[in-house]
Amino acid sequence: MKSMLSKKIFSWFYKFQEKQFVPKKEEVDNDSIKDLSKRLKSDTYKETLTNILEWQDRNLKFWEERWLTFMVLLVISYLSIIIILWRTLEINPSSTIILVLGLVLLFIIERDILNFIFYLITIFVFFIVYVLLLVYRIQEVSINYNTLFFIVMVSLLLGAFISIIIHLLIKYRNIKLMIPQFKIKDTFKMSLPIEKILEYRLSICRDYAKLTSTLLLNIYPKNEIFFVLVPQHVAVGIKIDKKMYILDQKLPILTLEKWAEKRRERLRKKILKVQFAKITKEEDNIKIDWSLPHYQTNKISQIDEKINIHEFTVRLKKKLKIKRIVKDTNLENYLEVPITLKNYFYFYGEDEIIEFSIIEAIKNKLEDELTGNIKNINSITIEQRGTDLILKINLVKRKNGKRKD
């Protein structure tokens, strides 16, 4: 009996997870995805995987409101349920039983109760109870402590909900003008279809994971592709020559070990278990396998990789096409620009794919910092400071629009 119950619970949990980030077959076969896959595919793994993350970094913005708003409304929903049950239990116990049975029924039939409609219904119920109770108490003049507390809590919850809606209406008014089909209610959805991810260019981790998985299924259908899950986050992994590489929204690409340790430190956990869900495209559907063993990291990794700074600098210069070195002893003709790359020494590994993606990430960082002046780089030196890499950029100053050389 317990075994069947636990299987039912796990089955419901996995289905709930899948609804958030697993693409449907029609999304994998979407024409826009196929076109994007062709544009990003290159001759080698290192180039293609780097292209995927670079495209996401350049074209998608993190949808802060969608992640934060959902969490806030989740709290509001839980508090609403608690207060309704508390108040109805005090006034009418039979109503409490009916409410509890309704919530249990929603859970049993596996409906997603954490959606926008549920929030609206919850807040609407509170609003009606609040107004009726307020009118009733005003007529009685006297208000006891429990009733006052109830009114205050309902006012706070209702105010929080209204504030969120007003904020979204104001902030996304401009997006609505540029994308008429944009719908604010999509902010509250657990999962967005691929078409809207590409159209809105706004995403949170589960959207990035869905998009990345659809691209990889189109480009590398014969490779093993996985969703990689830790608390509050999901990314995508791909196995190449028995080694797993993690693609997580932005460059650089990381090995599973480095990615897991990064997430462990971010969550401030002593032990972090990483769960895998293998995704496979079949003829008529998408198959998900949750039976894979977990990966666990439980200590701060010792950084034992040694970067050959000279060779790394040479490859970076080649990427940036820095060929000419101006040999001018007058320091006034140069500008020193230090740029810190947080944790890049830690990310590094003696691996062609990892190094290629790191160099591409550094190139993008320099383009962001120097813009058009990137062509005035005279020399680059790299130093290690703890887990960071420090780039010291030597720029040739311009005078009257020309280089002083």
Q: Please write the tens of the pLDDT for every residue from 201-219.
A: 989 999 999 999 999 999 9
Q: What is the pLDDT of residue 97?
A: 63
State the average pLDDT over residues 376-403.
77
The H or E element that residue 131 is part of is helix 116-140
Helix 45-59 × helix 31-40 angle, to 10°: 120
Question: What's the CA angle centered on 60, arms 369 and 372, to 5 degrees?
Answer: 25
Domain limits of the chain?
Answer: 2-60+201-297, 66-171, 309-399
Q: How confident is the model at residue 171 (pLDDT cuts 50, 70, 90)?
A: confident
Residue % of the chain over a pLDDT of 70: 71
Per the CB < 8 A criterion, the answer to whether 288 and 22 are in contact is yes
- CA–CA separation, 219 vs 301, rounded Å? 33
**pTM reported for the whole predicted model:** 0.78
3-state secondary structure 266-312: HHCCCCEEEEEEEEEECCCCEEEECCCCCEEECCCCCCCCCCCHHHH
Q: What is the pLDDT of residue 101?
A: 63
pLDDT of residue 111 exceeding 90, the answer is no
Long-range contacts of 153-159, Cβ-Cβ distance < 8 Å, separation of 24 or more:
153/79, 153/83, 154/83, 154/126, 154/127, 154/129, 154/130, 155/130, 157/76, 157/79, 157/80, 157/83, 157/123, 157/126, 158/123, 158/126, 158/127, 158/130
Q: How confident is the model at residue 45 (pLDDT cuts 50, 70, 90)?
A: very high
Identify which has the larger pLDDT, 262 or 308.
262
Rg (CA), the chain: 27
- Tokens, residue 383: 């130093």
Per the CB < 8 A criterion, the answer to whether 319 and 367 are in contact is no
State the average pLDDT over residues 398-404.
52
Q: Within a 10 A sphere around the Cβ of 4, how many other Cβ atoms?
A: 8
Report which residue type is found at 308.
Answer: N
Identify which has the larger pLDDT, 10 or 108.
10
Q: How confident is the model at residue 148 (pLDDT cuts 50, 70, 90)?
A: low
Residue with tokens 């209406």: 169
Q: What is the pLDDT of residue 396?
A: 80
